[in-house]
Structure 1
């Protein structure tokens, strides 16, 4: 098992990643740690965005909304004028129990109106392993959004995830990709869990009782942004 850190992973970030991999950490500490990780990733993204008036669109999955994505928004919204947001509820499974055939259809989504011209589309996820969720949600987004650049962002990625994701899209799309991560791991269990990854099943680590429960959850972030749009 080999973990390779990117040049974005300073000592503070490595301590946070160690907290995530500690299986004894309680859900509330895990949630707070994910939020802090999101803030660090947001800072890394901001270093690549020069214009505070540019159009940025952030998308995440339901389990990451109140923690990882919220942390990134805290960083982004300190500097950028506006950040549009989307959240996806995916049902991830393997047809015929074949791990390499994992799919993640969208059950529902919350998607804010997009500017006709999006400079940066950011897809953030707690971990990218087989890339099926990112592929599904990105495919849906680019039906309505034509971004200049696409940032694929995660604290941890499986070593083969980048190539697998690129192979899922035509060249005119994957040429827009840029990957931001703190660590890459090269080992996976037969069930697809990346080791050490983020310390196991992210649903359970965040306090959800599995996939079905997280898909019934409405993130506080979604509630707040939906209310703000209605009031506006």
Structure 2
């Protein structure tokens, strides 16, 4: 949210996402290794909160995760060339699929442990980063006007839904709603009729604090 709300409305239009541990490796790392160049951050922890050693394993489960933490940054930086692959007798038809261009930027941050203090440090680091990027790109990182239009239109939809529940009906093109949106809203309202209670119910908090009312509802 920090980047997307603060910086994404102009210039780079960056999109920020992430995932803990090897979940990300099996979902979107192919994108950052072999797709467009995406600067990325890796955050590792020295002392695990729950490190487990399994029988016949030479490292703990946390060590295993950290092995990937250290390896991914090098893989992004150095990559692998077609020459290296052929020297390892990789079949020619597989070479294009296993080439990694390398020279892809990343930042690795190693925290001593995961706690409120270190999380606060990381948050402060990123807050400063967003502010500085905003100054460089001439973006005010501290406003969020980009969400206002959707809120205004949602308010209009809310009014129309209330009117429809009292007998009115949406008309295509009325009040600024396009034809497709009008059709969807009418379809939504038609489907909801089968689910509505015959009378409005005060589900919370009355039902929870008045057992007699809850039983008669």
For normalisation by structure 1, the TM-score amounts to: 0.24
For normalisation by structure 2, the TM-score amounts to: 0.25
Q: 1 or 2, which has the higher helix percentage?
A: 2
Give the structure, 1 or 2, with the largest relative contact order (CA under 8 Å, sep 6 or more): 1
**Which one has a bigger Cα radius of gyration?**
2
